[in-house]
Amino acid sequence: MDPAAARTALEHERDRLQRDLAHLRGDGEAEPRDSADRLDQGPDDAVATYDHDFDETVAEDLESALGEVEEALGRIDAGTYGRCVDCGGEIPPKRLAALPASARCVECQRKRER
Ligand SMILES: [Zn+2]
């Protein structure tokens, strides 16, 4: 994959993730319907607690995805983009096209997830 095209794709992805994170963190402050829902539920806040936990998980996923995107951008700067961080082998262009933030070749990723 052309590094310039990869950079553009990654920067778009980073912007999107940052926007999602900001939206997630901003929720609850500026959403009047949220407090209306809570009034309907009365003193039992189990649902609200569940929602909060869920948002945290989503935020963590977004943050880790954002970290991967930033690392990939760093590899473009370093000139090592498209190389597996574990074995140094080439990451197949198809994989990069599908997942521009890929840090590992298919084989190393599989080993890591095992
Ligand atoms: Zn590898």
Q: How many angstroms is it from 81 CA to the middle of ligand 1?
A: 13
pLDDT of the residue at 40: 56
Residue ranges for the chain with pLDDT beneath 70: 1, 27-54
pLDDT of the residue at 48: 55
Helix axes 3-26, 46-78, angle to 10 degrees: 160
Q: How many angstroms is it from 82 CA to the middle of ligand 1?
A: 11
Nearest to 67 by CA among 105, 13, 108: 13
pTM score of the predicted model:
0.73
Cα-trace Rg, the chain? 19
| Rounded Cα gap, residues 1 and 39, in angstroms | 53
| Rounded Cα gap, residues 71 and 50, in angstroms | 32
| Rounded Cα gap, residues 94 and 100, in angstroms | 10
Q: How many helices (H) and strands (E) does the chain have?
A: 5, 0
Q: How many angstroms is it from 96 CA to the middle of ligand 1?
A: 13
Q: How many angstroms is it from 114 CA to the middle of ligand 1?
A: 14
Q: How many angstroms is it from 84 CA to the middle of ligand 1?
A: 5
